[in-house]
Structure 1
Amino acid sequence: METSGASTVRVVRPGDGGIVQMPGFSAVFKLYSRDNGGEVAIVEHPFEVGAITAAHRHTREDEHSIVLEGEIGFRSDADEVVLGPGGYITKPRGQMHAMWNAGSVPGRIIEIITPGGFENYFRELGELLTAGVQDAAVGPQLHESPEFSELARKYGLTYGVPDWFDDVVSRYGLRPPTH
């Protein structure tokens, strides 16, 4: 029988996984692409109340999100939706998107990233934050930091402030990412 790149069973128990803390939004590593031939990575993202990610565009991977707790808003180009526990969404590569906690309690999603590899971006971003490169390095104007710009380039990621961003922040009473 032929396998798809995974050579051993991988088990991650509840509460396990390395974590990178970012302002309002964290990354908990559940499945690394290095363990399955680069096919997929799975990252859990807890969202604080009022948190929104900076709007960004992936050029190499698609993201498939499953809401576990709370109400999470998603905007990908012109499409916007708020999903509760059990809701699924795909954010295709090439579209500018952001995610936010649209409710009044902490939220949590699982992000399935295909192909894998992008999970390493969060680890490297955490290293930049720990090193003190830009105080809140998840803001919409990160391109002002040469270290962050290089990291984004390395992972085929671009940041921007689309015309819908301020409206989403206002409608949901969010804390916009700082720079």
Structure 2
Amino acid sequence: MDTPAGPHVVRAGEGDVTGEPGFQDRYLLESAASSGRVALVEHVLGPKMLAAPMHRHSREDEYTFVLAGTLGVIEEGIEIRATPGDMVAKPRGRWHTFWNAGDDELRVLEIIVPGGVEALFRRLAGPGGEYSPDTLPALAAEYGAEVDFEATMPLVERHGLLF
């Protein structure tokens, strides 16, 4: 992909948005625009919303920077909370998920290195999305990822999460 002259700017309120109120993704930089090196996606989750079932990536590292709200994360069985200004690293190969652990909207910047899995987010988003507990494992596998619904449900129950 040719890089246009000048800085790449995505202004506030710009960028493609998928999902519905309470669970949205805003695509700030997709892998196609960075020659596959990185993707930046803003996730916005309503209170107690789980972002995804327990999963792991074989290709990407994820770095989650909290912009607003309280982020809950579980990685390899260890749970933490993070607040605005905190950054949580989720290296490839480790089982993890995250959720809105507060009563206010959660906004995080997800930095994905290298980019690519953001295409899966698009496929799963909104009305007509491809999400189904029956089809998600095969779809995730196309992106080098695995999901574990059995490990997800105790987390949902423990924290009263919406999934």
Indicate the TM-score class for this superposition, using the shorter chain for normalisation: 0.7 to 0.9
Structure 1 residues 7, 36: closer, same or farther in 2, change over 3 A? farther
Which protein has the bigger strand share? 2
Q: Which runs of 5+ in 2 are unaligned?
A: none
Measured in 2, the distance between the counterparts of 1:40 and 1:86 equals 21
Q: Which runs of no fewer than 5 residues in structure 1 stay unpaired?
A: none
* Of 10, 13, 34, the match for 2:11: 13
* Corresponding position of 2:117: 118
TM-score normalized by the length of structure 1:
0.79
Matched, 1:75 2:74: yes
Give the one of 27, 51, 57 matched to 1:29. Answer: 27
Distance in 2, Cα, partners of 1:132 & 1:113: 21
Other-structure match for 2:39: 41
Look up the match of 2:157.
170
3-state SS in 1 of match to 2:149: coil
| 1:130 has 2:127 as partner | yes
* CA RMSD after TM alignment: 2.2
Counterpart in the other structure of 2:101: 102
Q: 1:168 to 1:132 in 2, by over 3 A?
A: closer
Deviates more, 1:27-36 or 1:60-69: 27-36
Q: 1:85 to 1:132 in 2, by over 3 A?
A: closer
- The CA distance in 2 between the partners of 1:154 and 1:124, in whole Å, is 12
Task: Work out whether residues 66 and 83 of structure 2, in 8 Å CA contact, stay in contact via their aligned partners in 1.
Answer: yes
Count of residue pairs the alignment pairs up: 160
Equivalent pair of 2:123/2:129 in contact (CA under 8 Å): no
Percentage of pairs with the same residue: 37
CA distance in 1, matches of 2:97, 2:28: 21
Cα distance in 2 for partners of 1:62, 1:88 equals: 13
Deviation at 1:166, TM superposition (A): 3.9
Structure 2 SS opposite 1:130: coil
SS at match of 1:124: helix
TM-score under structure 2 length normalisation: 0.86
Match of 1:64 in 2: 63
Aligned to 1:88: 87
Q: What's the offset of the Cα at 1:161?
A: 3.0
